[in-house]
Amino acid sequence: MKKFRVAVVGAMGAVGREMLKTLEQRGFPVSEIRPLDIEANAGKKVLYKGQEVTVGVAAKGAFTDVDIALFSAGADASLVLAPIAASEGAVVIDNSSQWRMDPAVPLVVPEVNPDALDSHHGIIANPNCSIIQMVVAVKPIHDAYKIKRIVVATYQAVSGTGGAAMAELTAQAGQFVRGEKIISKVYPRQILFNALPHIDVFLDNGYTKEEMKMVNETKKILDPAISVSPTAVRIAVFRGHSEAVNIETEQPFNLADVRKLLEKAPGVEVMDDPANLVYPTTLDADGKDAVYVGRLRKDPTVPNGLNMWVVGDNLRKGAALNAVQIAEVLVAKGFKPKAR
């Protein structure tokens, strides 16, 4: 079997660590793993297959003998380093928002639009975590009944902001227990015991940048004709995003048929038996690959309306797993390691 030299840029971060774990757990054919991060983190160790591997510096020249570079170091790093990595011959799979809406860059969720990969020029974008789990869940419904409009409210975990935000929530819990003043640095307001209707910056139209990502990335991945009306909320959960998704379709549907479609959809698991308290929560999704769907019910206020609750692990399917799956599809489509 062909094996690949894989760099992970941002290897010390929340997503970078999950990428290393995901490559290992899925048995991706790696001949050499190269964790890279900022200079201040160089020399630190990360674990891969039970071995400590030394972190190098992500910089010009670091990608000449790399086949695949998984990036999760933020948009500024991707702006500078992704073109460098691509020019040095690595295929970049980028988790940041930097390249997602570039018309020359495919934005890919393997269960939804794998063939978009055929047009890549060295950089491939991984969508925003909230969008990945939503499009995996709504794709079979769109294929069968054509979705016109989605109204979505998200309940997003602090790990979506990164390692520093997880540390802030932990610290605030400690401050609360000790009766100390609660200190907020990562978020503009206390996140402990709170829900902030504010993810990323506010734009002139009154929406946040995160909300507009949901509008634009859904159109790019799934269908430009779908209207999306989003509200993105950060909540005091460590890991796992939840979404209340309201869908309006062109074609009428029967709820039992929708359930059957979702039950056989790739990447989806239906957890929907409210009478027996079966519905997905973030703790059910923690560390898991699937996108969980529950609370399926018709919306009687519009002609063809559906409500559902969608839960996924933002670090896993929302980031690391989707990136590794993109690499797997590339390999299945014939991508080969560089000649040595």
Ligand X SMILES: NC(=O)c1ccc[n+]([C@@H]2O[C@H](COP(=O)([O-])OP(=O)(O)OC[C@H]3O[C@@H](n4cnc5c(N)ncnc54)[C@H](OP(=O)(O)O)[C@@H]3O)[C@@H](O)[C@H]2O)c1
Residue 204 token pair: 């002139």
Decide if residue 83 touches ligand X (CB under 6 A): no
Q: Is 120 a catalytic residue?
A: no
Question: Which residues within the stretch 95-114 sit at the binding site for ligand X (CB under 6 A)?
Answer: 95-96
Kindly state whether residue 154 participates in binding ligand X, applying the rule CB under 6 A. no
**Cβ–Cβ under 8 Å, residues 307 and 299:** yes
**Following CA atoms 169, 173, 174, 179 in sequence, which dihedral angle do they give, to the nearest 10 degrees?**
130
Stretch that binds ligand X, among 100-108, 160-168, 190-198, 224-232 (CB under 6 A): 160-168
**Residue owning tokens 């560390």:** 287
**Minimum distance, C-beta of residue 13 to ligand X, in the bound complex (Å):** 2
Question: Which residues are 248's β-sheet partners?
Answer: 149, 305
User: Which residue minimizes CB distance to ligand X?
Assistant: 13
The residue within the footprint of ligand X, chosen from 69, 314, 321, 324 (CB under 6 A), is 314
159 lines the binding site for ligand X (CB under 6 A): yes
CB atoms within 10 A of CB 187: 19
Of 77 and 327, which has the nearer Cβ to ligand X?
Answer: 77
Longest Cα–Cα distance of the chain, Å, equals 62
- Answer for the pair 44, 76: CB distance below 8 angstroms, yes or no: no
Q: Confirm or reject binding of residue 123 to ligand X (CB under 6 A).
A: no
Q: Which of 265, 310, 315, 331 is the binder for ligand X (CB under 6 A)?
A: 315
CA distance 25 to 12: 18
The three-point CA angle 246-250-254 to 5° equals 70
Residue listed under structure tokens 């909300």: 211
Out of 120, 121, 129, 198, which one is annotated catalytic?
Answer: 129
Beta bridge partners of 114: none
Between 238 and 253, CB nearer to ligand X: 238
Q: Which CB sits closer to ligand X, 141 or 319?
A: 319
Q: Which of 116, 71, 69 is nearest to 89 (CA)?
A: 69
The verdict on 41 binding ligand X (CB under 6 A) reads yes
- Angstrom distance (rounded) from CA 298 to CA 276: 19
Active-site residue, 241 included: yes
Q: Which is nearer to ligand X, 9 or 308 (CB)?
A: 9
Does position 249 interact with ligand X (CB under 6 A)? The reply is: no
Q: Which residues are catalytic?
A: 129, 241
| Residues binding ligand X (CB under 6 A) | 9-10, 12-16, 37-38, 40-41, 58, 72-75, 77, 95-96, 129, 159-160, 162-163, 314-315, 318-319
